[in-house]
């Protein structure tokens, strides 16, 4: 492949003009684009902040100058920052530790990521030179010969990315390869662009903790299984005991996990949540268990749990203090990640739940900050790297309450991540959490799991049907199953009905299924009060959940076509404990108030693809009135239109005359919408993570309540998640053959909590 040198040269010129740095890059252009001799070494100086990206591109560029690939070496070193080489000796791979940058602010994190990126393109290089520390007092100049390409970059990478892509880049590691793709595309390097794209999409750009070569005991065996992709299931002290655990509580519940048979069906870890440590660190700087609560200490507690054949879970916080409830404040792990990880490993920890309180520097480390100005990735990356360096396989549960859309970055850092604010002891918390999960289920997969928060099953807050719904949906969405109830202590013993739910082998099997695909949201009947979720299982099976949101029991019907099925040779109704054979078209069953029809379908015949093609009506064809207005979106967002109508309210709507070629009052519609009204602060009260829309056809109104559609950071992405499109399928009445007046509005929104409706992008109508 021959690169287009003229195009590349002009691209560099354009970038230099934009960056107002035309003087320096001339030497770079001359050295890269006029060098004729074989390049045996690439030395890249001044490597700081985002320069690893530029280093990669430069190295790749040099590959095309050197047809003899086996001779290409890369040597990356940090900038001297006015000659302070002593500062740089603590950093590896020549990456300057800029704590204000978007990338890991610790040496190990940056080094690992750069190395991984280069290794991903290893077929273009034989060796990547790395240094644990630099030569002092400066670079070894005599290494530079006529066959060494020396380059010191001066152009900020974000200006380069902006020049090429026409917009500010997403400053996350997860999107960094996208920037590399942009470079490759601009340079005419199609082959390498494809490599970078494939590398990013496979999510292989960050290694997790190394696996032990030899499995020595049951704990390591379970951990090894998890590393291979299994879901973690466990007991955690917080939901029942809050921040007041003690040794007796942990002993009795760990023992009950075994005695009640929960261990036998897959619950393996016992985690002591907040409230376990002394308020301050010890003389040697380590976290110290509170001797009044844990008189035997944590090593003894770890041994007790391990001797039961269980895994030991610990808790800390990515802030300066741990989250606490009514207790003296306790110091967190921020700035102490390596020491704390080593401490946890020395205690034999198998799992770390890592919280998010007191973590935002800019606002003075408040207990909670829902609008931080610093991305969360760095703090969690630091602990992930620290855990990796201990060489003990420890599961990392990221608990940042869904801030900064962790589904976009957490899979590279931990094994599971919370996607919502806390579950609360009220039924309304269940739909609120599910509405936030709708847009995120595609991010889950083997070894990376959405965490819907700890279970309330067994805390006697919900009815039995409500507990069945709660457990069913957590299981099929592949959330970690974290028991939050008291199993047995001096006062409480879990009720048998709740224990039966937690031990249901079918439902646990759906959660642990080897396919590892989370169930997804399929249909919602807003006014009728029910909805359907479904997901594939191994063995060509399908799990389906139909939730009855109404306060009364009733018979409900699942239309198999709503989950892409024509017939099922076998059907198992889990909670009704019934089976059926040769089910065609639909299945009807009795569902309790707030209960769920949970079905396993096998021997499936998939529904044939519909030959009926919809007609799309974009928001640009609608006329706006009142408060409603048109909004242009960033490139490739608000798909498929690129714009939307917002501020739809009781006094603001969008209307259009649509001609129907067919009779029939009811027609199926796919509504394209944007909603990122995330219930963070309102989660404790009546936040729902939904917005209303009403669709009126010839004055016949259908109301829909749409979930969140955001698939990017609500804090730092260009559209703040408000330009990510979701779709909502609904049957709408009022149609007639010929002209129809269609109005998109928010009727009744002024009377409730949803003053503004979802933003409208367009709709498909199936005539």
The token pair at 337 is 């990640």
Q: Which of 186, 219, 222, 370 is nearest to 309 (CA)?
A: 219
Distance CA 659, CA 621 (A): 13
Which active-site residues does the annotation give? 355, 422
Task: Provide the b/e sequence for 11-24 (b: ≥16 CB within 10 Å).
Answer: bbeebbeebeeeee
Which one of 3.20.20.70, 3.40.50.720, 3.40.50.10260, 3.40.640.10 gives the CATH number of domain 218-514?
A: 3.20.20.70
Predicted confidence at residue 69, as pLDDT, reads 32
Q: Do residues 324 and 277 make contact, with C-beta atoms less than 8 angstroms apart?
A: no
Where are the domain boundaries for CATH 3.20.20.70 in the chain?
218-514
Tell me the CATH class for 615-766.
mainly beta
Which residues lie below 8 Å from residue 147, measured CB to CB, with a gap of 6+? Answer: 37, 38, 39, 40, 41
Distance CA 725, CA 675 (A): 8
Predicted confidence at residue 230, as pLDDT, reads 60
Which residues lie below 8 Å from residue 634, measured CB to CB, with a gap of 6+? Answer: 167, 718, 719, 723
Predicted confidence at residue 232, as pLDDT, reads 80
Q: Do residues 691 and 758 make contact, with C-beta atoms less than 8 angstroms apart?
A: yes
Distance CA 312, CA 119 (A): 34
Mean pLDDT, the chain cut into blocks of 10 residues (767 residues total)? 27 28 31 35 39 43 38 40 28 30 44 44 32 28 30 28 28 33 44 46 30 29 42 92 97 98 97 96 95 98 98 98 86 97 98 96 85 92 96 96 96 95 97 98 93 98 98 98 97 97 98 95 97 97 99 98 98 98 98 99 94 95 98 95 96 97 95 97 92 97 97 95 97 98 89 83 97
573-to-170, 472, 625 alpha-carbon distances in Å: 45, 12, 49
244-to-56, 151, 249, 350 alpha-carbon distances in Å: 50, 58, 9, 22
Predicted confidence at residue 115, as pLDDT, reads 45
375-to-91, 102, 215, 232, 419 alpha-carbon distances in Å: 22, 7, 37, 27, 15
pTM: 0.73
Which residues lie below 8 Å from residue 340, measured CB to CB, with a gap of 6+? Answer: 286, 287, 316, 333, 383, 386
Q: Give all strands (DSSP E) within 60-152, no chain letters.
A: 73-76, 127-129, 148-151
Q: With helix as H, strand as E and coil as C, how does 592-640 read?
A: CCCCEEEEEEEEEEECCCCCCCCEEEEHHHCEEEECCEEEECCCCCCCC
Q: Quick check: helix, strand or coil at residue 139? A: coil
Helix H or strand E encompassing 698: none
Predicted confidence at residue 367, as pLDDT, reads 87
Distance CA 616, CA 594 (A): 36
Tell me the CATH class for 521-606.
mainly beta
Distance CA 763, CA 706 (A): 14
DSSP state string for 429-450: HHHHHHHHHTTTGGG-BTTBEE
Distance CA 672, CA 683 (A): 26
Where are the domain boundaries for CATH 2.60.120.260 in the chain?
615-766
Predicted confidence at residue 609, as pLDDT, reads 84
Predicted confidence at residue 752, as pLDDT, reads 61
**Beta bridge partner(s), residue 598:** 545
Q: Quick check: helix, strand or coil at residue 340? A: helix
Distance CA 645, CA 632 (A): 9
Where are the domain boundaries for CATH 2.60.40.1180 in the chain?
521-606
Distance CA 472, CA 576 (A): 13
Tokens 């047995």 found at? 488
Residues in the chain: 767
The token pair at 464 is 């039995």
Q: Give all strands (DSSP E) within 492-561, no chain letters.
A: 520-525, 530-537, 541-548, 554-559
Tokens 């099929």 found at? 476
Answer whether the bond into residue 640 is a cis peptide, omega within 30°: yes
**Beta bridge partner(s), residue 536:** 542
Q: Give all strands (DSSP E) within 461-595, no chain letters.
A: 481-483, 520-525, 530-537, 541-548, 554-559, 565-573, 578-584, 586-591
Q: Which of 124, 133, 151, 145 is nearest to 55 (CA)?
A: 151
The token pair at 564 is 């892409």
φ, ψ dihedrals at 766, nearest 5°: -95, 95
């Amino acid at each position: 492949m021959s690169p287009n040198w003229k195009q590349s040269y002009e691209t560099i010129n354009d970038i230099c003009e934009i960056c107002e740095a035309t003087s320096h890059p001339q030497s770079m252009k001359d050295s890269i684009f006029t060098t004729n001799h074989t390049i045996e070494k690439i030395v890249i100086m001044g490597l700081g902040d985002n320069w690893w990206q530029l280093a990669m591109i430069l190295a790749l560029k040099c590959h095309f100058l050197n047809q003899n690939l086996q001779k290409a070496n890369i040597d990356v070193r940090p900038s001297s920052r006015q000659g302070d080489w002593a500062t740089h000796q603590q950093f590896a791979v020549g990456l300057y530790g800029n704590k204000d940058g978007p990338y890991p602010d610790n040496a190990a994190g940056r080094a690992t990521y750069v190395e991984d990126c280069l290794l991903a393109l290893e077929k273009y290089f034989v060796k990547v030179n790395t240094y644990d520390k630099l030569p002092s007092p400066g670079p070894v100049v005599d290494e530079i010969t006529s066959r060494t390409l020396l380059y010191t970059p001066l152009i900020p990478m974000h200006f380069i990315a902006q020049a090429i892509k026409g917009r500010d880049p997403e400053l996350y590691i997860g999107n960094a390869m996208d920037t590399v793709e942009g470079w490759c595309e601009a340079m005419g390097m199609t082959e390498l662009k494809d490599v970078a794209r494939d590398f990013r999409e496979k999510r292989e750009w960050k290694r997790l903790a190394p696996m032990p070569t030899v499995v020595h005991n049951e704990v390591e065996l379970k951990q090894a299984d998890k590393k291979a992709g299994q879901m973690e299931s466990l007991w955690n002290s917080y939901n029942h005991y809050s921040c007041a655990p003690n040794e007796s509580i942990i002993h009795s519940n760990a023992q009950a996990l075994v005695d009640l048979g929960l261990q036998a069906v897959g619950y393996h870890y016992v985690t002591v949540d907040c409230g376990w440590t002394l308020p301050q660190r010890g003389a040697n700087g380590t976290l110290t268990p509170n001797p009044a609560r844990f008189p035997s200490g944590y090593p003894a507690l770890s041994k007790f749990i391990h001797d039961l054949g269980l895994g030991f879970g610990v808790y800390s916080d990515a802030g300066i203090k741990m989250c606490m409830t009514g207790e003296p404040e306790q110091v967190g792990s921020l700035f102490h990640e390596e020491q704390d990880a080593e401490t946890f490993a020395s205690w034999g920890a198998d799992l770390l739940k890592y919280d998010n309180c007191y973590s935002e520097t800019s606002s003075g480390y408040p207990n909670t900050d829902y609008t931080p100005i610093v991305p969360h990735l760095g703090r969690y990356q630091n602990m992930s790297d620290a855990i990796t360096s201990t060489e003990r396989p420890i599961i990392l549960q990221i608990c940042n309450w869904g801030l900064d859309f962790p589904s976009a970055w957490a899979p590279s850092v931990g094994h599971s991540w919370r996607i919502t604010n806390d579950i609360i002891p009220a039924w309304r918390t269940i739909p609120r959490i599910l509405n936030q999960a709708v847009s995120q289920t595609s991010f889950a997969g083997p070894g990376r799991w959405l965490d819907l928060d700890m279970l309330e099953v067994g805390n006697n807050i919900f009815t039995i049907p409500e507990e069945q719904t709660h457990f069913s949906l957590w299981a099929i969405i592949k959330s970690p199953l974290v028991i939050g109830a008291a199993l047995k202590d001096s006062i409480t013993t879990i009720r048998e009905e709740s224990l039966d739910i937690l031990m249901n082998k079918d439902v646990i099997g759906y959660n642990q299924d080897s396919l590892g695909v989370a169930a997804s949201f399929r249909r919602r009947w807003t006014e009728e009060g029910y909805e359907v979720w479904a997901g594939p299982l191994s063995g060509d099976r399908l799990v389906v959940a139909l939730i009855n949101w109404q306060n009364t029991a009733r018979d409900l019907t699942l239309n198999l076509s709503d989950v892409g099925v024509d017939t099922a040779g076998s059907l198992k109704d889990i909670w009704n404990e019934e089976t059926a054979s040769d089910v065609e078209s639909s299945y009807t069953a009795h569902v309790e108030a707030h209960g769920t029809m949970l079905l396993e379908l096998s021997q499936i015949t998939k529904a044939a693809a519909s030959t009926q093609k919809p007609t799309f009506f974009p928001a640009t064809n609608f006329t706006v009135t009142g408060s409603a207005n048109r909004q242009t979106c960033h490139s490739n967002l608000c798909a498929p239109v690129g714009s939307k109508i917002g501020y739809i309210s009781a006094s603001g709507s969008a209307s259009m005359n649509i001609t129907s070629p067919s009779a029939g009052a009811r027609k199926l519609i796919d509504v394209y919408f944007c909603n990122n009204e995330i219930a963070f602060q309102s989660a404790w009260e009546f936040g729902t993570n939904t917005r209303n829309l009403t669709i009126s056809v010839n004055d016949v109104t259908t109301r829909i309540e749409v979930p969140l559609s955001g698939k990017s950071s609500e804090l730092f992405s260009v559209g703040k998640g408000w330009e990510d499109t979701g779709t909502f399928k609904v049957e709408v009445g009022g149609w007639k053959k010929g002209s129809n007046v269609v109005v998109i509005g928010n009727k009744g929104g002024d009377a409730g909590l949803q003053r503004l409706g979802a933003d409208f992008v367009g709709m498909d109508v199936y005539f």
